Structure 1
Amino acid sequence: MPNGFVYILECSDGSFYTGSTINIEQRLNEHNNGQGANHTKKRLPVKLVFLEEFDRIDDAFNREKQIQGWSRNKKIALINRDFEKLPELAECKNESHFKKWLRLRSATNQHSLIIDKDKNMQTYYSHGKLLLTAEYVVLDGAKALAIPTVFGQSLHIEKQPENKLTWNSLDHNQNEWFNAEFSFQDETVLIENTTNAEISDRLLQIITAVKELNPNFLNDEGFNVSTVLEFPKNWGLGTSSTLINNIANWANVDAYKLLELTFGGSGYDIACAQEDSALTYQLINKKRVIETVNFNPSFKNNLYFVHLNKKQNSRDGIAHYKANRSNLEETITTINVITEQIIICETLDKFQSLIDNHEQIIASVTNQTPVKQLLFDDFSGSVKSLGAWGGDFVLVASKNNPIEYFKSKGFETILNYTDMVL
């Protein structure tokens, strides 16, 4: 008898939703009664178009995360049982040096390299994030458009007999980049050994904050913990936010409160970690207003993400913004309008006009120079900064394929919109 299921639902707007469950009949009823995921409850009715059975729910969960990272065409091939097309559709459509990684990620279960199926292990997963609009001003109440990425981070928990916490972090190539061991004395957590003092101090801060929110966390129990990134750490897709959300789920605490006690920020990245579709995020009177939206531009094949290879510290960017911000009321009103217009935008020309205008507004309010003016002033398309300016990814909108242009400028990591966005 199966103990886990992976399913794909077709929603009323034609979009797909992939999930996993231990009770498929109950879960289908929940979806169609509006008690399922945010994505489905706004797109009723839904119908089951694919079902796969597993002996273990953790296997089903891992399969769910694999399928969620696939393109729409690959999901359709799976639904139609057209298995011969799957290897071809796993091929990444961009020409970046991460082509091989994307192909392998789609074709295999990346978690199988680290999970021993014979062990009792809990697994938590969070999506990465990109902020398309309202960078910086989202902190002061502007409405932001944010998108979860196909790349995320998983957290694997296994109990151990000793009353200690061992921590092992793997990068996207399954190579260890951090290791530490913590001991418990009374209610105090101590660092026993570590490969990186700065990271272990930050992790200790997170654990301490969790225990403040849940005093019973880690009491009289030992664990082996592994984290696995699906993207390079310098991509800026949310190494910290995905970790915070995973730990919060493990410890049964509020991820937003944990973020406030540790890294800070607006919280949009936590929303992306938890959602399966694009969303708007806004702070109104310090309260979060989160709405999932149907953002699926018809011109998405003209959109690209280019990595600038300059990891930006979000806290530094926020500090710069707070020191230079001005004319906020008018700025927020304008950014809100641009965000709404981008969501419903139907043409590439209009989209480019909107993001160009957005870039100039944020440049003015933060007293910074737009990235296109700094690095790509001879480029014919549009270039928009994402998140903290100065590093990580930029969004490129172009009528012509821009890959060779950016490669000629020394930027090799170039992803098509559909290769990045969940």
Structure 2
Amino acid sequence: MKKTFYSNGKLLITGEYVVLDGAKALAIPTKFGQNLIIENSESGLIEWTSYDYDKSIWFEETFSFSSIVEKKNYEAIHNIKNTLIEILHEAYKLNSNFLTESKGYKITTELTFPKFWGLGTSSTLINNIAQWLEIDAYQLLKNSFGGSGYDVACAQNNSAIIYQLNDEKPLIKTISFKPDFTSKIYFVYLNKKQNSKEAIASYLEKRGSVEKTIAQINAITDTVANSTELMEFALALQKHEIVMSTVLELPTVQESLFEDFNGVIKSLGAWGGDFILAVAKEDPTDYFKGRGYEVVIPYNEMIL
């Protein structure tokens, strides 16, 4: 019998980095996501195939049940395989039945976005595996990748959320975020995927005392989430960039790459890669494409 599970991708609009320290974050699920398809087999193995958005295979491997139980570690060239074994090992610790009561699986994953976009290849997988095995996705994330968990919350919800950690426990408030000016919001891919773990490590080194920063970001998140005017929304995003630029000791993406842009640009998630958000009164597609950034997606084509 075939079982299919699906999880939404994500974009973090406010609260990057400081969400780890308990700041409020506005996060939005995307129309793009990932499927997980489970079929039983008699092989005594897990036969795993991962497809990119264009139906090309980007990962294909076979695992023994024992490699998962023992959390076998292969050579560094098998980095993806090792990561997957780690996730499945942690899942096994939370619910061993999927190995002890099975004769084998054929497992397929299907992305509906290019995997290098950074919309949640890992978080959608974590949430799909948790759905399949009926375990806590946040616990599985904590035990494997780590992170704040906002991406798992997006995987599970079909509307915008205010996400906050309280004593390491996620607080999730679903909200309606559909301002009249969404036609003025665009998402632009910066042609490189950012390593979130490295970016977070750098933040943890530089953050210092975060109480003031958290208060500032909380206020900005509330403003952004409740904005009814484009100018109010844009100015709040600009203020967010200035606050985080000071904390991270980095120039904003607008300062470093798009100083002449007629509008406001904000980094999303780890600074320096993946997507940015652009607010502009006129369609900025030609501006970005003229600078080599071919992926420019209007808000309503990206956001669920």
For the criterion TM > 0.5, the same-fold answer is yes
Alpha-carbon distance change, 255 to 202 in structure 1, aligned in 2, over 3 angstroms: same
Which residue of the partner structure matches residue 340 of structure 1? 222
Which SS does the other structure have where 2:15 is aligned?
A: coil
- Which amino acid in structure 2 is aligned with residue 264 of structure 1? G
Q: Do structure 1's residue 389 and structure 2's residue 268 form an aligned pair?
A: no
**Contact 2:67–2:85, Cα closer than 8 Å, also in 1:** no
Which residue of the partner structure matches residue 322 of structure 1? 204
Alpha-carbon distance change, 382 to 223 in structure 1, aligned in 2, over 3 angstroms: same
**Contact 2:71–2:89, Cα closer than 8 Å, also in 1:** no
Which SS does the other structure have where 2:49 is aligned?
A: strand
Alpha-carbon distance change, 335 to 219 in structure 1, aligned in 2, over 3 angstroms: same
Spell out the pairing of 1:162-241 with structure 2 (5 A cutoff): 162-185=43-66, 188=69, 197-221=78-102, 222-241=104-123
Which SS does the other structure have where 1:166 is aligned?
A: strand
Alpha-carbon distance change, 358 to 190 in structure 1, aligned in 2, over 3 angstroms: closer
Q: Do structure 1's residue 141 and structure 2's residue 22 form an aligned pair?
A: yes
Moved more, 211-220 or 168-177: 211-220
Which SS does the other structure have where 2:98 is aligned?
A: coil
Structure 1 alignment gaps of length 5 or more: 1-119
Which residue of the partner structure matches residue 11 of structure 2? 130
For each residue in 1:48-87, what CA deviation from the matched residue of structure 2 results, as whole angstroms up to 9, or x when unmatched? xxxxxxxxxxxxxxxxxxxxxxxxxxxxxxxxxxxxxxxx
Which residue of the partner structure matches residue 264 of structure 1? 146
For each residue in 1:77-121, what CA deviation from the matched residue of structure 2 results, as whole angstroms up to 9, or x when unmatched? xxxxxxxxxxxxxxxxxxxxxxxxxxxxxxxxxxxxxxxxxxx21
Moved more, 370-379 or 360-369: 360-369
Spell out the pairing of 1:66-105 with structure 2 (5 A cutoff): none
Q: CA deviation at 1:327?
A: 4.0
**Contact 2:12–2:27, Cα closer than 8 Å, also in 1:** yes
Which residue of the partner structure matches residue 375 of structure 1? 257
TM-score (norm 2): 0.96
Residue identity over aligned pairs, in percent, reads: 48
Moved over 3 A (4+): 185-194
What CA RMSD, in Å, does the superposition of the two structures yield over aligned residues? 1.7
**Contact 1:182–1:191, Cα closer than 8 Å, also in 2:** no
- Work out the CA distance in 2 between the residues paired with 1:192 and 1:156: 25
**Contact 1:181–1:191, Cα closer than 8 Å, also in 2:** no
For 1:282, which of 161, 164, 177 is the aligned residue? 164
Which residue of the partner structure matches residue 412 of structure 1? 294
For each residue in 1:209-242, what CA deviation from the matched residue of structure 2 results, as whole angstroms up to 9, or x when unmatched? 0111112221141110000001111100000000
Q: Which one has a bigger Cα radius of gyration?
A: 1
**Contact 2:69–2:92, Cα closer than 8 Å, also in 1:** no
- Work out the CA distance in 2 between the residues paired with 1:288 and 1:248: 16
- Work out the CA distance in 2 between the residues paired with 1:158 and 1:377: 51
Structure 2 alignment gaps of length 5 or more: none
**Contact 2:68–2:85, Cα closer than 8 Å, also in 1:** no
- Structure with more contact order per residue of length (Cα contacts < 8 Å, sep ≥ 6): 2
Which SS does the other structure have where 2:96 is aligned?
A: coil
Which residue of the partner structure matches residue 353 of structure 1? 235
- Which amino acid in structure 2 is aligned with residue 332 of structure 1? I
Which SS does the other structure have where 1:306 is aligned?
A: strand
Q: CA deviation at 1:408?
A: 1.0
For each residue in 1:384-416, what CA deviation from the matched residue of structure 2 results, as whole angstroms up to 9, or x when unmatched? 000000000000001111111111111000000
Alpha-carbon distance change, 270 to 185 in structure 1, aligned in 2, over 3 angstroms: closer
Aligned length: 302
Moved more, 323-332 or 227-236: 323-332
